[in-house]
Structure 1
């Protein structure tokens, strides 16, 4: 006996080659659900592991280190301000040295002349000290030099004959 067709039933769709059937689609959906559940459980485990290690690190972190880490942004800001001030000071120093450069050049030209005048004055004093009677005059006036001239050996005490 054959079953008669019911009035509201559609005829079965013919299966085309390469087209999945309802059983294949159901199996693929179940596989996708299992893969999603597996990925979700792995993500949850990774999040728990990360939270656990972060908590362990926070517990092991000394309070002073946590305080320093909290102050780090302010310290970096202060450091950048100090560097800006240092740069402006260096620029100001460069401008000042550029203005003083002619004075330094004049000093460089003047110093050899001053050294020559000083050596000439020392030579004049040395020759004056060798003149007879100048040492006696210096002792009488209280203007004796504290050191003997450099080119003369110290005077030897003389013996008197009796």
Structure 2
């Protein structure tokens, strides 16, 4: 017959062996206290060293801050705003460059037409000057120029500061 609590007979469980100790015996309360005190002392030493290091670092930082000229501190305080303004300026410059690039792309056909047209215009101007020079050599053209008011401009002296009269 079985009870609601289960079988009365328990299965044998293997006994766990105690952790091995250095002397093959268990540590007593005195040894545990000594180990705990040693751990506390080690933690206090580590904390003290960390505190000394932090104080030394803070001292160096304070010395550097005290030796920092006020103008440098003011510049350092303005640095984030300067960087933001620089970023804005660079963004605007990129926009302007893009706009200029698009404008030049639209104007490229006009520049090509000017390149084809300019040599022809220079040739026409040179031919007009040759015709004007040939007409100026004809007799009576100077009188005609005076009558009509389209007289040729007088030739410039090669040395404008000196007169020809002596």
Give the alignment's TM-score, normalised by structure 1. 0.71
Contact 1:15 1:21 in 2 (8 A): no
2:141 alignment counterpart: 134
Structure 2 Cα separation of the partners of residues 16 and 42 of structure 1: 35
1:5 alignment counterpart: none
1:59 alignment counterpart: 66
2:124 alignment counterpart: 117
2:27 is aligned with 1:21: yes
Q: How does 1:1-162 map to 2 (within 5 A)?
A: 18=22, 21-22=27-28, 25-138=32-145, 143-147=151-155
Give the alignment's TM-score, normalised by structure 2. 0.69
Instruction: Kindly state the Cα deviation for residue 79 of structure 1 after the two structures are TM-superposed.
Output: 1.1
Structure 1 Cα separation of the partners of residues 45 and 104 of structure 2: 73
Alpha-carbon RMSD across the aligned residues, in angstroms, is 2.6
Structure 2 Cα separation of the partners of residues 139 and 91 of structure 1: 57
Instruction: Kindly state the Cα deviation for residue 54 of structure 1 after the two structures are TM-superposed.
Output: 1.4
Contact 2:21 2:27 in 1 (8 A): no
Contact 1:138 1:144 in 2 (8 A): yes
Instruction: Kindly state the Cα deviation for residue 132 of structure 1 after the two structures are TM-superposed.
Output: 2.3
Structure 2 Cα separation of the partners of residues 136 and 89 of structure 1: 59
2:6 alignment counterpart: none
**5+ residue gaps, structure 2:** 1-17, 157-166
Instruction: Kindly state the Cα deviation for residue 21 of structure 1 after the two structures are TM-superposed.
Output: 2.5
Structure 2 Cα separation of the partners of residues 114 and 16 of structure 1: 110
Structure 1 Cα separation of the partners of residues 19 and 111 of structure 2: 103
Structure 2 Cα separation of the partners of residues 15 and 141 of structure 1: 132
Q: Give the match's secondary structure for 1:131.
A: coil
